Amino acid sequence: MKLIHHIQSDNFSNVFLYGAFMFANIDYVGIADYLIKAILGAAVWYGCKYIQEHYSAKLRQRTEQQAKEQERKAAENNTESKS
Per-residue pLDDT band at 82 (split at 50, 70, 90): low
Task: State pTM to two decimals.
Answer: 0.52
Higher-pLDDT residue of 82, 36: 36
Higher-pLDDT residue of 51, 19: 51
In three state form, how does the secondary structure of 43-72 look?
HHHHHHHHHHHHHHHHHHHHHHHHHHHHHH
Assess whether pLDDT exceeds 60 at residue 1.
no
Mean pLDDT of 31-38: 95
Type of residue found at 74: A
3-class secondary structure, 5: coil
3-class secondary structure, 79: helix
CA distance 28 to 34: 10
Q: How many residues does the chain have?
A: 83
- All structural domains of the chain with their residue ranges: 27-82
